[in-house]
Amino acid sequence: MVKHLLLLSGALGVFLQFYYTYHLPPHVATHFGAGGLPNGWMSREGNLALSVCVFVFNTLFFFFLPAIVRKLPTRLISFPKRDYWFSPEKREETLHLTTPWIHAIGFITNLFLMGVFHLAFLANLEKPPKLDERSFFLMLGLYLLTVAIYTALIYRRFGKVPKKEGDIRRISPS
């Protein structure tokens, strides 16, 4: 289920970039400094290429990350109680349990990116362009809070070793 949300959000992000492009001026503000004022510009087509690449990369990265982690040696994986959860007898089960978590954080990141690109789109419709900093920082704060809560939930779930063998409950965002 979460895997499908990740893929759908990536596709929606790409679709929105094409939609936005045909409503933008030939040169668009792509970077904003203090006060929401633009300090970096790009052609409309260059902005389209960059934003599509961002969505495609983010979606594919989080989609394939579980497969990448599956191939990594345990010593290269940063995870609570790694030696227990990635022991040979627990590794596959742990990867199965964490895959929806990884896909969900990719989905959440795509939602954040959609919000940021939407704010940039709205800014470029104004004369002169100006980013709504209040909305940007609100979205950034919510995204960082979500990531922090998510990280805390992962540590809560995997930070302890079960007392009895077989006492692993499935807790996932799927």
Q: Answer whether residue 170 is part of any domain.
A: no
Residue 9 has pLDDT above 60, yes or no: yes
**87 with 162: CB under 8 angstroms?**
no
Q: Answer whether residue 29 is part of any domain.
A: yes
Residues sharing a CB contact under 8 Å with residue 142, sequence separation 6 or more, in sequence order = none
Q: Answer whether residue 163 is part of any domain.
A: no
Q: Answer whether residue 174 is part of any domain.
A: no
What's the domain count of the chain? 1
Q: Answer whether residue 36 is part of any domain.
A: yes
Q: Answer whether residue 114 is part of any domain.
A: yes
Token representation of residue 142: 């919510």
Range of the domain at 69: 2-158
Query: Residue 148 has what pLDDT?
Result: 97
Q: Answer whether residue 164 is part of any domain.
A: no
Expressed in angstroms, the distance from the first to the final Cα of the chain is 6
Q: Answer whether residue 172 is part of any domain.
A: no
Residues sharing a CB contact under 8 Å with residue 174, sequence separation 6 or more, in sequence order = 1, 2, 100, 104
Residue 157 has pLDDT above 90, yes or no: no
For the whole model, what pTM was predicted?
Answer: 0.87
Region 161-168: mean pLDDT is: 64
Render pLDDT for 43-95 as a digit per residue (tens, 0 to 9).
Answer: 999 999 999 999 999 999 999 999 999 999 988 988 888 888 888 898 899 99
